Copies of this chain bind each other. A is one copy, B any other.
Amino acid sequence: MSTSSPPECLPLTDEDLEAFKALFAASSAIGATPSGGLHRLAASREDGLARDQLCDWLREQDLEVRIDQAGNVFGLAVFDPEAPYVLCGSHLDSQPTAGRFDGAYGVIAGAVAVASLAAKLRAESIRPAFNIAVVNWTNEEGARFQPSLIGSSVFIGSMTAEQAWACRDLDGIDLKSALQDIGYLGAEPVRLPLAAYLEIHVEQGLDLERRKAAIGVVRKTWAALKLTLEFEGFQAHTGPTPMPERRDALLAASRAVALVRELADQHPGRMHSSVGRLEVYPNSPNVVPSQVRAFVEFRSEEPELLAETLSRFEAQLDRISQQTATAYRVIQRQLREAQFLHDGLARLAHQACAELGLAAADSTTIAGHDAISLSKSGPSMLLFVPSRDGIAHNEAEFTSEAQLLDGLRALNQLLYCASLGHGGLSAGGAASTSGALQ
C-alpha cells in the first residue's frame, strides 16, 4: 500500500530517545522498592497507576487507546482501517520484589517506537502496508494470578475472558474484580487482525553478555511443563499423634520438592526444574499439615526428555505417597511446547541490526514470554537485550541505558520494515513459519 519507495530507515531522533528515558524512569517509580527494584503485581494499585501513565502518554501521541475484556491496553496508529496490524509490546506487571526491566522495558520501548514511527510515517506521507500498535498484556508474570500469560492467551483465543476472570489470587480476589477496581476491565474484545507481533525484552540469561552481542534474535523456545500438585494428608496434633500414624502432606510435598531438583540434576544443561510456590494448610506450627499445593515446573528443549522425566516423576510420587500415607493429584497440567519463532522476522531483525551497526546473535528463550503465546497464532519475533550476570526476577536485575537504547533502535527499525510488509509477512499472517515443534 506504500505510495512511493520509502527510505531504508526512519531513525529515532534524540527527542524520541529522551522520551523513552523519561517514560521509563517515570514508570519505574511506580511500585519502586527501596533497593532499586520493582514490586508491581498484576492488577494491583501500582499496576493501575502505571497503566494510567502509559495511557495518558499514548493519548498525547495521538494514538487510539483501547482496553479489552482481559484488561490488555492497546495504543493504535491506524493508517488503513481495513489493514492488519504489526503489534508490539510486553507487560507492565512484575514479580514480587523484582527488577525494573522485565516487561516494562518492552512496553515502553514499544510505545515510543510506535508513536515515533507513526508520526514520521505521517510526516513523510508514507502509507505503510500495515497499521502499527503497542500493547500492554495483563498478568504476564503469573505471580498474583495463575497461569502466567493470561492477557496474551485471551487475545489469541487459547483462554476465554471468563476463564481469565475466574483466576483468583491468594486472598481470593478474582481477576475480574481486580481489573474493575483499577478501571481496566474493558467491555468487549479488541479484535485486531495481526500481520506480526514484535516484543523486546531483557534476556534474563548470560548468553548475550558472554558473546558480546547487543541484540539477541530469538529463534526458538524451550518447552515448559507446569504442574500444580495437591498433596492430601490428615490434620493432626504435632505433639501426641504417634509418628507412624501421621499422614503429613508437607512431608510428602517436601520429598517431592527434593525429587523435582534431582530429576533435573540428572540432565545438566538439558533440563531446568523448580518448585516456586507451596501453599500449606492449615500452616499452623502445632498442626500436621493436611493439604499442600506445589507449583512444579520442568523445562527442556527436548520434548522426549520432558515426557520421560514426567513419567519417572509420577512413578516416584506414587512411592512418596505410599511412604507417607498421603494422596496426591495433579490439579493443573500445562504443556507449553517448544517452538520456532518466525524465520522471516528473524532475518529482518538481523538486517535491521546490521543497518544500525548493532552486533546481533541468534538466541533461545527458556523463559516464557507473550511473544511465545502470540507465535501460536501468527508471525512473531522476540528480541533480547543483555542482562547483567543473567540476574532476573530479582531487584538486582540490570541493563544499562545504552543497551536499552540500542534495543529500542533495533525494535524501531524492525517495526518500520515489518510495517512496510518486509520479512515475508502477508495480510493474514499466512506466511508464518511459526508453529509447535514435534
- When the two chains form their complex, are residues A142 and B284 in contact, meaning their CB atoms are under 8 A apart? yes
Closest to A171 in B: B171
Chain B residues with Cβ below 8 Å from A206 are 242
Chain B residues with Cβ below 8 Å from A286 are 95, 141-143, 148, 276, 297, 367, 393
- When the two chains form their complex, are residues A261 and B272 in contact, meaning their CB atoms are under 8 A apart? no
- When the two chains form their complex, are residues A368 and B239 in contact, meaning their CB atoms are under 8 A apart? yes
- When the two chains form their complex, are residues A257 and B264 in contact, meaning their CB atoms are under 8 A apart? no
Contact pick for A96, options B237, B238, B287, B392, CB 8 Å: B287
- When the two chains form their complex, are residues B241 and A282 in contact, meaning their CB atoms are under 8 A apart? no
Is the CB of A205 closer than 8 A to any CB of chain B?
yes
- When the two chains form their complex, are residues B285 and A265 in contact, meaning their CB atoms are under 8 A apart? no
Is the CB of A426 closer than 8 A to any CB of chain B?
no
Complex Cα gap A244–B206 (Å): 14
Chain B residues with Cβ below 8 Å from A394 are 234-236, 290
- When the two chains form their complex, are residues A297 and B274 in contact, meaning their CB atoms are under 8 A apart? no
Is the CB of A283 closer than 8 A to any CB of chain B?
yes
A143, A242, A393 pick with most chain B CB within 10 angstroms: A393
Complex Cα gap A321–B297 (Å): 23
Chain B residues with Cβ below 8 Å from A244 are 268
* Nearest-Cβ distance from residue A267 to partner chain B, whole angstroms: 9
- When the two chains form their complex, are residues B367 and A239 in contact, meaning their CB atoms are under 8 A apart? yes
A: number of interface residues (CB 8 Å): 75
Closest to A143 in B: B284
- When the two chains form their complex, are residues A276 and B238 in contact, meaning their CB atoms are under 8 A apart? yes
Contact pick for A272, options B239, B392, B393, CB 8 Å: B239
- When the two chains form their complex, are residues A239 and B142 in contact, meaning their CB atoms are under 8 A apart? no
Complex Cα gap A236–B366 (Å): 13
Is the CB of A146 closer than 8 A to any CB of chain B?
yes
- When the two chains form their complex, are residues A282 and B143 in contact, meaning their CB atoms are under 8 A apart? yes
Of the listed stretches A84-92, A180-188, A247-255, name the one at the interface; the rest are far from the partner chain: A247-255
Complex Cα gap A71–B142 (Å): 42
* Nearest-Cβ distance from residue A367 to partner chain B, whole angstroms: 4
- When the two chains form their complex, are residues A240 and B95 in contact, meaning their CB atoms are under 8 A apart? no
- When the two chains form their complex, are residues B284 and A96 in contact, meaning their CB atoms are under 8 A apart? yes
Contacting B at CB under 8 A, from A106-128, are: none
- When the two chains form their complex, are residues A283 and B287 in contact, meaning their CB atoms are under 8 A apart? no
- When the two chains form their complex, are residues B255 and A243 in contact, meaning their CB atoms are under 8 A apart? no
Complex Cα gap A97–B279 (Å): 16
Chain B residues with Cβ below 8 Å from A295 are 285
Chain B residues with Cβ below 8 Å from A236 are 391-394
- When the two chains form their complex, are residues A251 and B243 in contact, meaning their CB atoms are under 8 A apart? no
- When the two chains form their complex, are residues A283 and B277 in contact, meaning their CB atoms are under 8 A apart? yes
- When the two chains form their complex, are residues A241 and B285 in contact, meaning their CB atoms are under 8 A apart? no
Chain B residues with Cβ below 8 Å from A265 are 243
Enumerate 9 A-B pairs (CB-CB under 8 Å) in ascending A order.
A142-B286, A235-B395, A236-B391, A236-B394, A237-B392, A238-B393, A240-B272, A243-B265, A254-B255
**New A-B pairs, 16, CB < 8 Å, besides A96-B281, A238-B297, A243-B264:** A95-B286, A143-B282, A148-B286, A204-B239, A206-B242, A238-B393, A240-B272, A240-B367, A241-B392, A244-B268, A248-B261, A250-B257, A250-B278, A251-B257, A277-B283, A284-B393
